Structure 1
Amino acid sequence: MSGRSHQEGLNDLTLLGNQKAQYVFDYAPEVLEAVDNLHANRDYFVKFNCPEFTSLCPLTHQPDFATIYISYVPDKKLVESKSLKLYLFSFRNHGDFHEDCVNIIMNDLIKRIEPRYMEVWGKFTPRGGISIDPWCNYGIPGTKYEEMANFRLMNHDLYPEKIDNR
């Protein structure tokens, strides 16, 4: 960690504890905030389960609903959860295909927190009798995290889930 104290790092946050935080109704990656990882000396997973994600179909403009799972091994930064909530909410009026949404989310988080490893999985509710569950991942190139990403990609769906009518 830099010469800054943990408390000084928290002082940079604008959304956590702010009762007047505004929900943004248009795609807004700039709302993502980060805090220092106080345990950067070890690998560990952080997982977010976001069961109320909505976006719009880019063609019909009808709403799409999903649970978004975000798992990552942090490096120096952690994503602040309230900013993540507001960021995900910003997709509410955003039109993109399911596959695009999960890749955009992953790309924005990689840009903001530079994790060692990350995966994003969208479990969308069925539309027209078909559900789409895109999954993407990333590991820092040239490291064991890239190897981990390749392994997890190759073994991602070996044990498919039991679908229980979402």
Structure 2
Amino acid sequence: MSTSNNSPEQSQLGKTSAYQTQYDPSLIFPIPRAEKRAEIGLKIVDGKAINLPFFGMDFWNAYEVSWLNMRGKPQVAIVSVFAPADSPNIVESKSFKLYLNSFNQTKLAGADALLSLLQTDLSTGFGAPVQVTITPQEQFGKAGFQELDGMLLDRLDIEVDQYSPIPEILRADHSQPAIEETLVSHLLKSNCLVTGQPDWASVQIRYVGAPIDQEALLRYLIGFRNHNEFHEQCVERIFCDIMHYCKPQKLAVYARYTRRGGLDINPWRTNFSTGKMPSNLRNARQ
């Protein structure tokens, strides 16, 4: 599918949509990552960012997934999608929901048949291979919760009067020895790029480097409160701003966004490997 002219404004966001109930992969609406990456200073060549300062994953979880078995009986499951950060596209979330709903009256031979279609269609949409897992109904009871670990920035009693990101306030004390630290805030809120609807998240920042001013970091994160961007774009902006102004040796930013329309999107960006990806267990607000 071509994405050369796909912009958020052309998607189904904020528009009345007819919900298709028969399988239709054309509903997937890819949006190139390049334009927003250029905005935060990343190098774009031939419409694609190169020499990314991070790697990572977008973890998608879909809780409203249903299809019919070959006898017409409805089936339900939870679907998780793992899209690499270096894929050329994101998939607009409402189109993702419309696509999933197109299975509602579609007969499939089983979960493996669904998995095969999801893997193929979503890899095409993101423009790179994605991993898909399906949690069947009988395993719902094993789905756990886990909060992001780290020192809570929200404990700080600060005064705030700016609700747009001001990266210039970020700073680190380079006169001090490097430390390893994990910081968490539950006060990240941004808004949908198209509709302006609020997006709520918890964010975890792991770094090795000069001690980052925690009050300034919390003010910066709260500054996203009136900012309009998609989840993935916010996390990449946070990563690049901290790298530019605080210059840590290692940095990882992970945000767990609350679900909307049965979907949650959880971007993770890092410049170092810990040997494993972060857990995709949902937190209490999800």
1:38 is displaced (CA, Å) by 2.5
Q: Distance in 2 between matches of 1:88 and 1:109?
A: 11
Give, in whole Å, the separation in 2 of the partners of 1:128 and 1:117.
Answer: 35
Mapping for residues 58-97 of structure 1, pairs under 5 Å: 58-74=193-209, 77-97=210-230
Residues in 1 aligned to 2:194 and 2:280: alpha-carbon distance in whole angstroms: 30
Match of 2:276 among 152, 155, 160: 155
Confirm or deny: 8 A CA contact 1:34 1:113 kept in the other structure.
yes
Shift of 1:121: 0.2
Q: Does the 8 Å contact 1:106/1:118 carry over to 2? A: yes
Deviation >6 Å, runs of 4+: none
1:6-55, CA deviations, whole angstroms, 9 ceiling, x for partnerless residues? Answer: xxxxxxxxxxxxx7x55212221112122235233xxx421111111100
Distance in structure 2 (CA, Å) of the matches to 1:156 and 1:33? 28
TM-score norm. by structure 1 comes to 0.70
Cα distance in 1 between the residues matched to 2:257 and 2:163: 20
Q: Give how far 1:113 is off.
A: 1.3
CA contact (8 A) 1:23 1:89 kept: no
Q: Among all aligned residue pairs of Structure 1 and Structure 2, give the percentage whose two residues are the same amino acid.
A: 29
Structure 1: gaps spanning 5 or more residues: 1-18, 139-148
Amino acid at match of 1:132: I
Contact 1:37 1:78 in 2 (8 A): no
TM-score where L is the length of structure 2 = 0.42
Structure in which a larger fraction of residues adopt strand: 2
Cα distance in 2, alignment partners of residues 60 and 67 from structure 1: 21
Aligned mates of 1:22, 1:81 — CA distance in 2? 14
Corresponding letter in the other structure for 1:92: R
